[in-house]
Amino acid sequence: MGRRALAGLLLVGLAAAARADVPVESLGRVETLPLPPGPHWAWVGDPVFRHATLVDLSDGRTLGIVNAGFGMPTVLTPAARPEFYVVETHYSRGSRGERSDVLTIYGGRSLAAEAEVVLPPKRAHAANTAGMLALSDDDRFVAVFNLTPATSLSIVDVEARRFSAEIETPGCSLAYAAGPRRFVSLCMNGALMLVEVDDEGREARKTRSEPFFDPQLDPVTEKAARWEDRWLFASFESWIHPVDLSGAAPRFEERWSLVNDAERVDDWRIGGMQHLAVHEPTGRLYALMHRGGPDTHKQGGTEVWIYDLASRERLQRIELHGLGFSYLGVPLRAEGFTGWLIDKLADWTLGMAPDIAVDAIAVTQDAAPRLVTVGAVSGAVASYDALTGEFLGRAYVGNATNVTLSTPFARTGGWR
């Protein structure tokens, strides 16, 4: 018998032995998500793999993945129905060709695409997704921000699964929910535009407010966080501008600072692509902070500072841990001394290299909330006890990068 034939028999034998030790996989099995949903679920968006991943931070498990098309993935979650909404852009030839924009409705248990609504192919794309789309407080309408460079909102009736209208918003950009039939946009002169829609999703009324910040001296960022009926906008210089939208007209409350005089001299300021989060049950504001000069508000953060929103006093500072190392979703992990060294190196690079610091934060809304952090250079998600600041570890979700982050039930805690 020749050497090739002998090698072939040996390989067949090894394969047979391997098959004997591996259980037979059952095909056609469909998994579903549990109901009620877990309190520590989080969506993390990966523009490289063009999807959003749902992770359970309680145990670090990846629960599922939905397609998100071209751009920065963002997932909206209604309280009234077990489903998720993703606005997607697709090109007929991958990176070019005919463009189509759709809002896809994914099942809350199956994560299967159940319906889609075709949108005008003009939705805005940006490195940051804050204000790019909003869900009305009654879960009926989604507003999608368009930029061509003319500005407008595409209104989708997600209950009826249809496109309702395009509403022009000249000089004003983005969309933030402000009631069951109202959205607000930020205007170039520092004002707000209030857009109200009727029961069909068509324009009912548009009004402009007086300016509430100076866009030349200290503009606010688009990365606002909601607290009850208020939106909290942070400025480049770390001033919080609260806007109360509970009434017919916005009420602009007195601004307050995230930093004291000494910290301002030390160049502490907000940072990252998503730098504010609120835990509504306790009325706490979480702010992602870093040390940097003027115009570094997009630089990643190294600490999270916690404030009591009622008193506007700082309660705590959390020194963040590094996000760990991964390549195309594969984590670099080890046990023993090597694992300890990798973790220490991740923490060291967080403070030494601003470009690989934490880019976004979010907070779950349960009684034992998790503070979640992600960054663009790692596929990992880190979590902390949001009340004590204790570091609880990292989860590797298979993403090449994590750029967008959201907790599904930001205001309700779960599907009603």
Domains of the chain, first to last: 73-124+131-220 (2.130.10.10), 221-416 (2.130.10.10)
pLDDT tier for residue 1 given thresholds of 50, 70 and 90: low
Q: What average pLDDT score do residues 320-333 get?
A: 78
The confidence score (pLDDT) of residue 322 equals 85
Residue 9: pLDDT over 80: no
Kindly state the DSSP code that residue 322 receives in the 8-state scheme: P
Q: CA-to-CA distance for 247 and 28, rounded, in angstroms?
A: 53
Alpha helices per DSSP H over 297-377:
336-352
The confidence score (pLDDT) of residue 354 equals 65
The confidence score (pLDDT) of residue 63 equals 92
Residue 59: pLDDT over 70: yes
% residues pLDDT > 70 (the chain): 89
Which of 6-15, 210-219, 374-383 is predicted most confidently? Answer: 210-219
The confidence score (pLDDT) of residue 105 equals 97
Q: CA-to-CA distance for 213 and 226, rounded, in angstroms?
A: 18
At residue 347, the 3 state secondary structure works out as helix
Angle at 320 between CA 314 and CA 325, to 5 degrees: 160
Q: CA-to-CA distance for 12 and 141, rounded, in angstroms?
A: 60
Q: pLDDT digit string (tens) for 147-190?
A: 999 999 999 999 999 999 999 999 999 999 999 999 999 999 99
Q: What is the mean pLDDT of the chain?
A: 88
Contacts by residues 389-395 (CB-CB < 8 Å, ≥ 24 positions apart):
389/304, 389/306, 389/316, 389/318, 391/321, 392/57, 393/60, 394/60, 394/323, 394/324, 395/55, 395/57, 395/60, 395/61, 395/62
What global pTM score does this model have? 0.89
Q: What average pLDDT score do residues 359-387 get?
A: 93
Q: pLDDT digit string (tens) for 275-293?
A: 999 999 999 999 999 998 8
% residues pLDDT > 90 (the chain): 66
**Residue of 411, 389, 243 whose CA lies nearest to 234:** 243
pLDDT tier for residue 31 given thresholds of 50, 70 and 90: confident
The confidence score (pLDDT) of residue 12 equals 46
Q: What average pLDDT score do residues 125-153 get?
A: 93
154 or 403, which is more confident: 154
The confidence score (pLDDT) of residue 90 equals 95
Q: What average pLDDT score do residues 347-361 get?
A: 78
